[in-house]
């Protein structure tokens, strides 16, 4: 099935047409202002191209998890203010995302103007992919563009639902770029190295099972590494483990072994007796009773860095330790620096991994920074993304 691009829409002409753009403007707010505008900036390319071509852009997004209720703290109004500054032009803001008020506001748009709708998740029907809400969105548009890769794995009214109701539909520049770059993990130039971190095996189980037989080297960090070490019979002290995932961890290990793939786990650890930022800590190879691992140790970090330098394709999702606490951030920093120095095609996703490369100032040395956490993990597994599937078969 064909998925059109912005180029296709522009070639056919969008001047004077209402183009409903679903973006991912789910940014942190602090004191009523945008705290980090990375996701807003990532949407600018598609928006600028449509505006320059004379489209009447109707922009929709979610923010946070208001659970279907109006929440002034999660209004998109501050996002609109920052977007206006970045675009260098005034934009409209609608207090609702559908219905007569939204239709009236859209009808006032002139060619090359933009209207930002209020948080779509203020509507309970959004996450339920309610067909009535999807039709209400469709009533605002002549064409549809999905540029929200971070929500492409959700079958929501503003992603999967509305897209199927608008014959002219396309992938935005950001969404298309994400799909193209992440496809290189599914069909990589080898060796392929994958770095997975985070707190729980359960959060990454599906991608672990998919990547274990596919990747040449799989390096595991974060708290989830200690469930694996436990099933291998190594002492883990009071480190976080998931007893209900022991069988799953054994299955991942066995899948890697059967496929002849290498799965690497920490060989030394930064440990403390309590989970506190200023807790006394030490580096050990064997975790003592009563102590918990909060970061990979320097030998492990060096070993992972050496593996990174041999890769031709690299995918990283998840921190190596409790990155939020400076005392336990060294492992994640070391991996970030190694990824930046690598000559491989490097793809980094997940909030903490992105934070690491941004804080270290090496983001511009990463081949691709993925804006989608869950979406990127599902895509590299080979799972269909509802928001992408809904774009197929455009006229």
Active site residue 69: no
- The whole-angstrom separation of Cα 120 and Cα 156 is 10
Exactly one of 48, 164, 200, 262 is catalytic; name it: 200
115-127 b/e (C-beta count within 10 Å ≥ 16 → b): bbbbbbbbbebbb
- The whole-angstrom separation of Cα 131 and Cα 22 is 17
Strand pairing class (292-296; 269-272): antiparallel
Exactly one of 16, 35, 290, 351 is catalytic; name it: 351
Exactly one of 18, 22, 39, 333 is catalytic; name it: 39
Active site residue 251: no
Give 362's Cβ-side CA count (13 Å radius): 19
First to last CA, the chain: 11
Whether the Cβ atoms of residue 345 and residue 312 lie closer than 8 Å to each other: yes
* Among candidate residues 369, 248, 241, 266, the one with its CA nearest the CA of residue 321: 266
- The whole-angstrom separation of Cα 274 and Cα 329 is 16
Active site residue 41: no
Active site residue 67: no
Exactly one of 172, 222, 331, 374 is catalytic; name it: 374
Q: H-helix or E-strand containing 348?
A: strand 345-349
Active site residues per annotation = 39, 200, 351, 374
């Amino acid at each position: 099935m064909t998925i059109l691009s912005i180029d296709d829409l522009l070639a056919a002409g969008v001047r004077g047409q209402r183009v409903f753009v679903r973006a991912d403007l789910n940014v942190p707010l602090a004191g009523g202002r945008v705290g980090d505008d990375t996701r807003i900036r990532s949407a600018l390319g598609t928006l600028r191209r449509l505006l320059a071509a004379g489209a009447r852009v109707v922009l929709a997004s979610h923010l946070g998890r208001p659970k279907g209720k109006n929440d002034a703290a999660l209004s998109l109004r501050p996002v609109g203010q920052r977007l206006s500054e970045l675009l260098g032009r005034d934009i409209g803001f609608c207090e609702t995302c559908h219905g007569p008020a939204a239709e009236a506001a859209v009808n006032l748009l002139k060619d090359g103007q933009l209207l930002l709708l209020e948080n779509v998740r203020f509507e309970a029907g959004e996450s339920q992919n309610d067909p009535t809400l999807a039709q209400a969105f469709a009533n605002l548009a002549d064409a549809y563009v999905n540029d929200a890769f971070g929500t492409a794995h959700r079958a929501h009214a503003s992603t999967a639902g509305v897209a199927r109701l608008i014959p002219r539909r396309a992938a935005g520049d950001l969404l298309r770029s994400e799909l193209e770059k992440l496809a290189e993990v599914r069909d990589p130039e080898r060796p392929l190295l994958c770095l997975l971190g985070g707190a729980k095996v359960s959060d990454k189980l599906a991608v672990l099972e998919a990547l274990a037989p596919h990747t040449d080297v799989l390096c595991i960090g974060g708290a989830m590494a200690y469930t694996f070490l436990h099933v291998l019979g190594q002492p883990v002290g009071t480190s976080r483990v998931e007893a209900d995932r022991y069988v799953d961890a054994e299955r991942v290990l066995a899948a890697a072994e059967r496929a002849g793939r290498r799965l690497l786990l920490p060989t030394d650890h930064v440990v403390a007796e309590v989970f506190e930022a200023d807790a006394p800590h030490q580096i050990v190879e064997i975790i003592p009773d009563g102590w918990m691992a909060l970061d990979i140790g320097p030998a492990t970090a060096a070993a992972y860095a050496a593996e990174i330098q041999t890769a031709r394709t690299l995918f990283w999702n998840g921190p190596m330790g409790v990155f939020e606490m400076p005392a336990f951030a060294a492992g994640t920093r070391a991996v970030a620096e190694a990824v930046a120095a690598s000559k491989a095609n490097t793809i980094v996703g997940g909030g903490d991994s992105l934070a690491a490369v941004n804080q270290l100032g090496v983001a511009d040395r990463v081949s691709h920074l993925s804006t989608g956490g869950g979406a990127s993990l599902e895509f590299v597994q080979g799972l269909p993304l509802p928001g992408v599937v809904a774009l197929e078969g455009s006229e």
